Amino acid sequence: MKKILYVGSECMPFAATGGLGDVMGSLPQALKAKDPENLDVRVVIPLYEAVSDTWRAQMKQEAVFTVRLGWREQYCGVFSLEKDGVTYYFIDNEFYFKRNTLYGHYDDGERFAFFSLAVLEMFPHIGFYPDIINANDWQSALTVVYLNVHFRCVYGYDYIKTVFTIHNIEYQGKYNMYILGDVFGIDSCHIPLLEWGGCMNLMKGAIECADKVSTVSPRYAEEIQTPEYAHGLQDLLRGLSFKLCGILNGIDYKYYNPKEDTEIAKNYTWRGLKGKTADKTALQEELGLPVREDVPMFSIISRLVAHKGTDLLKEIGFRMMAENDCQLVVLGTGDSQYEEFFKALEREYPTKVRALIKYDRALSKRIYAASDFFIMPSKSEPCGLSQMICSRYGAVPIVRETGGLYDSIKSYSVEDGEICGNGFTFANYYSEDLYAKIKEALAVYADSEAMKKLQQKVMKTDFSWAASAEVYLGLYNSL
Residues that bind ligand GLC (CB under 6 A): 18-20, 23, 167-168, 216, 249, 381-385, 404
Q: How many CB atoms lie within 10 A of CB 477?
A: 9
Phi-psi region for residue 207, left (φ > 0), alpha (ψ -120 to 50) or beta?
alpha
| Position 117, amino acid | L
| Position 275, amino acid | G
Kindly state the smallest distance separating residue 50's Cβ from ligand GLC, in Å.
18
Nearer to ligand GLC, 426 or 463 (CB): 463
Kindly state the smallest distance separating residue 217's Cβ from ligand GLC, in Å.
8
Give the C-alpha separation, 401 to 379, whole Å: 9
Give the C-alpha separation, 309 to 292, whole Å: 29
Nearer to ligand GLC, 258 or 382 (CB): 382
What does the CA dihedral 308, 314, 318, 324 come to, rounded to 10 degrees? Answer: -30
Kindly state the smallest distance separating residue 405's Cβ from ligand GLC, in Å.
9
Kindly state the smallest distance separating residue 168's Cβ from ligand GLC, in Å.
4
Kindly state the smallest distance separating residue 478's Cβ from ligand GLC, in Å.
21
Nearer to ligand GLC, 23 or 86 (CB): 23
The beta strands (E) that lie in 167-318 are given as 174-175, 195-196, 199-201, 212-215, 244-246, 297-301
Kindly state the smallest distance separating residue 385's Cβ from ligand GLC, in Å.
5
Cβ-Cβ contacts under 8 Å for 135 (sequence gap 6 or more): 7, 8, 116, 141, 143, 144, 162, 163, 164, 165, 206, 210
Kindly state the smallest distance separating residue 368's Cβ from ligand GLC, in Å.
16
Kindly state the smallest distance separating residue 211's Cβ from ligand GLC, in Å.
20
Nearer to ligand GLC, 148 or 468 (CB): 468
| Position 367, amino acid | I
Cβ-Cβ contacts under 8 Å for 116 (sequence gap 6 or more): 7, 135, 139, 140, 141, 142, 143, 145, 146
Kindly state the smallest distance separating residue 301's Cβ from ligand GLC, in Å.
13
HSE of 360, CA atoms in CB hemisphere, 13 A: 13
Closest CA to 371 of 277, 259, 236, 240: 277
Nearer to ligand GLC, 16 or 117 (CB): 16
The beta strands (E) that lie in 118-181 are given as 132-136, 161-166, 174-175
Shortest-Cβ-distance residue relative to ligand GLC: 19
Give the C-alpha separation, 396 to 413, whole Å: 13
Nearer to ligand GLC, 5 or 399 (CB): 399
DSSP state of 16: -
Nearer to ligand GLC, 18 or 85 (CB): 18
**Exposure string over 151-177, b if 16+ CB within 10 A, otherwise e:** beeeeebeebbbbbbbbbbeebbbbee
| Position 252, amino acid | D
Nearer to ligand GLC, 377 or 404 (CB): 404
Nearer to ligand GLC, 146 or 476 (CB): 476
